[in-house]
Structure formats: C-alpha cells, structure tokens
C-alpha cells in the first residue's frame, strides 16, 4: 500500500469521527480531495454551487481567483484571476461572496469594494462594478424575480448593502446603511415566499446578546423589519425545508462568552423552530434537500473546528466532523448530495484542498 493511499485512509478515518450519531442515517465521510492549482489553498471565503450546471465556485484568496469545479467529476475546470487576494487585512481581502446570475454570469465580490462580473463562456472578468466603500464587498444574494443582486459591505462604518440591477447597464439601484448593525452584516439569501432578501445581523446597537435577520425589500430598497434572535450572533444563513431558515451562530466562539448554538427559525414570522445546542462558532451554512441535512462550519468551537451535520427534519445534531484550521466555507451539490468543504493548509488535514463528502 502506498504512503499516499495510507494517508488518504487516515484522513477519511479522522474526518468521519462523530460526537453524535443518528440511528439509521449514514454518516457523512470524505470520499475525495480536490487539489487547487497554484498556491496551496489557505485563504478563502464563500463556496457556492450552481445547481443548474453542477458547478462549484470558490472564492480563493490564496490564488486571487474564483476557482470553478465540475461537481460531477470533482475536477477543476477553470481559475478566473484578477482579484486582490489577501495581504494581511481581511477588511480589504478578496474575492469574498460569489453567486450565479442567470445562465451566463457569475458575480464575485472583491476586497476593493467592487463586484466583478464573470462571463461563464470565456471564464473571464468582463465588468467591474464599484459599491463605493473603503473596505471589501462581501457576501451576496440574487433575486431572480426582480433581477437584483444584494451585496454587503460589512467592514465599512456603518456597514451597508448595495442593490444592483443585473440587467444591461448594471445600475446601482440603492444603498442601504445599517447603522444599528454594530458588528457588521453577514450571509444573505433571497427568500422567495416573500420575494425579499434576508441578511444576518450579528449584533444590534452594541448588545452582543441581541442580533437579527433583517428583511430587505428589493423593490422599495429598504429594510422593512428585523426578526430578532438572542444569544446567537447570527452569521451564516440558508433556506431549509418549507419556510425554515437555519442560522449559523457566532455564539460558541470563546471571545463571545456565549454557549454554542445553532438556530432554526420560521422565515415568515421569525419564530424560533429549534435551538440546537453544542454546535456554534459558525460562519457559512448550507442545506441539502436531497440529504435532508444542514451543514454548519463551526470553525470556532471551543473544542476545535468541526463541520456540524444537523437532521433538518428533527433539528438534531447528528455529526461533528473535525476539520481543523479556519474551515468556514461549505456548499452542496443537489445532483448527488456531495458536500464541498474547503480545508486550509494551516491546521487542515490535507495541506490545502477541497474535501468532497458523501453519505452514500
């Protein structure tokens, strides 16, 4: 048996460890690793899968690129360079958020307060849109009904959102300041039942115990309400089954003084559906309808970084998979249920790669 194959088996064994087990459910395990060309993967941000084309996109700061992967073959098919990368200041690092817009474009937020439009036919940047800030443009969401992208400038003071038309000309429609958001703004989603954007607000008015999910009307161009949540520090946000939303909470990071928790809320009313203990300190989160699971990048758990796996039907934690390092980005391909988890060079188990996980 080769040393390389032995190492792969050891990694698979390590990453299949669980803190909790769900009777009858197959465990999520790493089945392969994707090596990214260029510099070893260490600094990265958002992961995103375009379900229509089975394509995975990664905001790769180590290579100043958006990495494009065919989810079926798990092969890198392109790297689109031209981003600022990371030079020691996360406030000006990029790329950051990434989202597919229509069939022919991918939009990616960069550290110089811009959004770069990528032509998917040529895999090249064809336009740069300024959001007018001093710090990075960050996470994004796309409204396919009104053809609008929301992009957050979370590091500016105050943090703000920019609504951009995806129609030709890419007009800046509105800038919305969030003066009450005293610890930035985080992951956003388009919530189709109400045709609005929702965005995580970790902290309101300096009160660490109180955060919210802000409701943003893309047509009126304003925040229409706050669904407040306590002892969470909302960061990650994803649509779940029905009208449910999963919130990846920053609570659990030792610096917060709050216990680890993940929340599931009703997207219409903001009512708490479940408070799931023992998993928190999170950043990006994802949901798979095929697998019936939420995935929580709990990078700041007191006991070490893990990927939390939650049964989306029972709202119970079923696995905590050790990841190591600053593993804070995750996405799922619904065609086969594969989970894509970037793993950093520093502290990670593979020297910098994208781990592909499956329960089948």
Tens-digit pLDDT profile for residues 74-126: 999 999 999 999 999 999 999 999 999 999 999 999 999 999 999 999 999 99
Answer whether CATH 2.130.10.10 is correct for domain 43-210: yes
Please determine, for residue 14, whether its predicted confidence score (pLDDT) is greater than 90: no
Residue 73 has a CB neighbour count (10 Å cut-off) of: 10
The CATH-assigned architecture of domain 1-34+231-360 is 7 Propeller (2.130)
Q: pLDDT at residue 269 above 90?
A: yes
Identify the pLDDT of residue 3.
36
> Is a pLDDT exceeding 70 seen at residue 331?
yes
Average the pLDDT over 13-37 and give the result.
68
Read off the tokens for 122. 């040529």
Q: How confident is the model at residue 25 (pLDDT cuts 50, 70, 90)?
A: low
Q: Specify the DSSP element, H or E, that contains 9.
A: helix 3-15
Residue-level pLDDT at 26? 79
| Nearest-angstrom CA–CA distance, 47 and 277 | 25
Decide if pLDDT at 10 tops 80.
no
Categorize the per-residue pLDDT at 254 as very low, low, confident or very high, splitting at 50, 70 and 90. very high
Q: What is the pLDDT of residue 252?
A: 95
Whether 345 contacts 41, CB under 8 Å: yes
What value does the mean pLDDT take over residues 303-331? 97
Mean pLDDT of 248-267: 97
Residue whose entry in the numeric block shows the structure tokens 């084309």: 53
Tell me what pLDDT residue 360 has. 82
**Beta strands 272-277; 172-177: pairing state:** unpaired
Residue pair 96/103 in contact (Cβ under 8 Å)? The answer is no
CA pair distance 151, 353, nearest whole angstrom:
27
In angstroms, the Cα distances linking 106 to 42, 102, 110, 122 are 23, 8, 13, 11
Q: Is the pLDDT of residue 191 over 90?
A: yes
State yes or no: pLDDT of 17 exceeds 60.
no
Mean residue pLDDT across the chain: 94
C-alpha 205/C-alpha 212 separation (Å) is 11
Determine the pLDDT at residue 97: 98
Q: Taking the CB of residue 360, how many other CB atoms lie within 10 A of it?
A: 11
* Residue 132: HSE in the Cβ half-sphere, 13 Å Cα cutoff: 13
pLDDT digits (tens, 9 = 90+) for 63-72: 999 999 999 9
Residue 4 has pLDDT above 50, yes or no: no
Query: Given a cut of 70, is residue 29 above it in pLDDT?
Result: yes
Rounded to an integer, what is the distance from CA 350 to the centroid of its chain? 21
Residue 1 has pLDDT above 70, yes or no: no
| Domain range summary for the chain, segments of one domain joined by + | 1-34+231-360, 43-210
Count CA atoms closer than 13 A to 262's CA, side-chain side: 34
- Topology agreement, domain 1-34+231-360 and domain 43-210: yes
Cis peptide before 82 (omega within 30 of 0): no
Rounded Cα gap, residues 316 and 320, in angstroms: 12
Asked whether the predicted pLDDT for residue 18 surpasses 70, the reply is no
Long-range contacts of 191-197 (CB under 8 A, 24+ apart): 191/239, 191/245, 191/267, 192/145, 193/243, 193/267, 193/268, 194/267, 194/268, 195/143, 195/145, 195/146, 196/224, 197/141, 197/143, 197/150
Average pLDDT over residues 264-275: 98
In a 10 Å sphere around its CB, with 0-12 CB exposed, 13-18 middle and 19+ buried, how is residue 180 labelled?
Answer: middle
Digit-coded pLDDT (tens) for 148-161: 999 999 999 999 99
Question: Residue 338 and residue 354: Cα distance in Å, rounded?
Answer: 12
| Alpha carbon 239 to its chain's center | 12
pLDDT, tens only, 158-185: 999 999 999 999 999 999 999 999 999 9
DSSP label at residue 340: E
pTM above 0.75, yes or no: yes
């Amino acid at each position: 048996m080769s040393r390389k194959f032995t190492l792969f088996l050891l990694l698979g064994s390590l990453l299949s460890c669980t803190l909790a087990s769900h009777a009858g459910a197959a465990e999520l395990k790493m089945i392969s690793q994707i090596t990214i060309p260029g510099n070893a993967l260490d600094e990265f941000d958002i992961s995103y899968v375009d379900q229509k084309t089975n394509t995975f996109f990664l905001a790769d700061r180590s290579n100043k690129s958006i990495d494009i992967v065919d989810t079926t073959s798990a092969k890198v098919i392109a790297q689109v360079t031209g981003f600022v990368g990371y030079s020691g200041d996360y406030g000006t690092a990029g790329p950051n958020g990434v989202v597919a817009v229509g069939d022919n474009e991918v939009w990616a937020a960069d550290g110089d307060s811009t959004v770069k439009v990528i032509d998917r036919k040529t895999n090249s940047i064809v336009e740069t849109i300024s959001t007018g800030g001093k710090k990075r443009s960050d996470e994004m969401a796309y409204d396919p009904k009104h053809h609008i992208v929301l992009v957050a400038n979370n590091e500016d003071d105050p943090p703000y959102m920019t609504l951009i038309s995806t129609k030709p000309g890419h007009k800046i429609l509105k800038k919305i300041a969030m003066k009450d958001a005293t610890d930035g703004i985080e992951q956003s989603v388009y919530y189709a039942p109400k045709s609005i954007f929702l965005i995580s607000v970790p902290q309101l008015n300096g009160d660490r115990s109180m955060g919210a999910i802000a409701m943003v009307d893309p047509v009126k161009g304003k925040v229409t309400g706050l669904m407040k949540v306590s002892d969470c520090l909302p960061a990650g946000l994803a649509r779940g089954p029905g009208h449910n939303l999963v919130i990846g909470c920053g609570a659990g990071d030792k610096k917060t003084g709050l216990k680890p928790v993940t929340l599931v809320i009703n997207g219409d009313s903001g009512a708490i559906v479940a408070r799931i203990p023992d998993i928190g300190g999170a950043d990006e989160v994802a949901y798979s309808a095929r697998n019936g699971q939420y995935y929580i990048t709990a990078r700041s758990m007191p006991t070490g970084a893990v990927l939390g796996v939650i049964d989306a039907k029972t709202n119970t934690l079923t696995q905590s998979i050790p990841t190591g390092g600053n593993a804070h980005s995750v996405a799922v391909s619904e065609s086969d249920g594969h989970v894509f988890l970037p793993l950093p060079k520093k502290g990670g188990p593979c020297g910098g790669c994208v781990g592909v996980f499956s329960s089948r």
